[in-house]
């Protein structure tokens, strides 16, 4: 099936008709700063830094979407304008600081501006994702929800040894199953709930969409220096696709929806 892209307000959807068992999400896919919101007073360097997006995450999510025949819902603008993995009441949704960077355009944000961004970015994105889940449920194929992220190898000057983190919300079932396969498939240093966990407030998308429906889920966090070239992304995608499919098969004991990877 050739990739198709449907553009919706606040959300981009690729492979909407894909028939596999996974649904992929990439909330921090882009470092685009639309004219309607401006550059938030950031330098070009800051707009390209990891604070503005998750480098390599969209390329990885696209490869997984293709390999495992899963729809992909992703953001089209920087998370500094609105972090789609945070609820509207969270200060982190439109953060005034990120690591060592100040975000001038968010420093004194008004209630009216918060509402504008929520109306134009957050609500359309999560509505589009919810609609995709509802359609898959109506078709009798509850998806495994997989959110794809990357993280910086150095945080506040401290290097991070972990290469791949598996994070879950309330239900650890799929993350635990994936942990059994992901090390051998990827050869990466993989750890559960590192470098973040639900306690850090990073599972909003999973909590909003997976937990209420009892959907199996996992948040993938890949260190971004392992996604810095197309070849590197392809290598990681190959290993993750194998592990995701094996975890699915182990849980559901079904080969009827097995993808070619």
Percent of the chain residues past pLDDT 90, beyond the cut: 89
Buried b (16+ CB within 10 A) or exposed e, 56-79: bbbbbbbbbbbbbbbbbbbbbbbb
User: What total number of domains does the chain contain?
Assistant: 1
Is residue 129 situated within a structural domain? yes
Chain centre distance of CA 237: 14
At 257 the pLDDT is: 47
Is residue 20 situated within a structural domain? yes
| pLDDT tens per residue across span 218-229 | 999 999 999 999
Closest CA to 84 of 170, 133, 149: 149
Residue 77 is part of which domain span?
5-252
Is residue 47 situated within a structural domain? yes
At 10 the pLDDT is: 76
Is residue 210 situated within a structural domain? yes
At 9 the pLDDT is: 53
| Cα torsion angle, 220, 226, 232, 233, sign | positive
What are the tokens at 207?
Answer: 């909590």
Is residue 261 situated within a structural domain? no
User: In a 10 Å sphere around its CB, with 0-12 CB exposed, 13-18 middle and 19+ buried, how is residue 235 labelled?
Assistant: middle
Task: Give CA–CA dist 24/129, Å, rounded.
Answer: 10
| pLDDT tens per residue across span 184-243 | 999 999 999 999 999 999 999 999 999 999 999 999 999 999 999 999 999 999 999 999
| pLDDT tens per residue across span 46-99 | 999 999 999 999 999 999 999 999 999 999 999 999 999 999 999 999 999 998
Q: What is the CATH number of the domain that holds 17?
A: 3.40.630.40
Is residue 13 situated within a structural domain? yes
At 256 the pLDDT is: 45
Is residue 259 situated within a structural domain? no
Task: Give CA–CA dist 187/189, Å, rounded.
Answer: 7
Is residue 260 situated within a structural domain? no
């Amino acid at each position: 099936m050739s990739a198709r892209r449907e553009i919706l307000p606040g959300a981009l959807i690729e492979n909407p008709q894909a028939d596999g068992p996974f649904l992929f999400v990439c909330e921090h896919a882009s470092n685009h700063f639309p004219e309607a919101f401006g550059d938030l007073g950031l330098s070009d360097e800051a707009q390209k830094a990891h604070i503005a997006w998750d480098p390599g995450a969209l390329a990885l999510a696209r490869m997984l979407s293709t390999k495992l025949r899963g729809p992909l819902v992703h953001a089209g603008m920087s998370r500094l304008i609105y972090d789609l993995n945070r609820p509207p009441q969270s200060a982190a949704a439109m953060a005034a600081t990120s690591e060592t960077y100040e975000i001038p355009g968010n420093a004194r944000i008004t209630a009216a501006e918060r509402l504008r961004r929520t109306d134009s970015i957050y609500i359309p994105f999560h509505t589009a994702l919810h609609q995709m889940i509802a359609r898959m449920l109506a078709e009798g194929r509850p998806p495994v929800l997989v959110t794809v992220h990357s993280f910086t190898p150095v945080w506040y000057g401290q290097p991070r040894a972990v290469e791949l983190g598996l994070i879950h919300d309330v239900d650890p079932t799929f993350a635990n199953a994936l942990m059994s396969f992901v090390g051998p498939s990827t050869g990466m240093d993989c750890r559960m709930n590192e470098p973040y966990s639900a306690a850090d407030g990073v599972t909003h998308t999973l909590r909003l969409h997976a937990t209420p429906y009892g959907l199996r889920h996992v948040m993938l966090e890949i260190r971004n220096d392992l996604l810095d070239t197309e070849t590197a992304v392809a290598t990681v995608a190959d290993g993750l696709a194998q592990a995701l499919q094996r975890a699915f098969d182990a849980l559901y004991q079904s080969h009827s929806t097995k993808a070619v990877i």
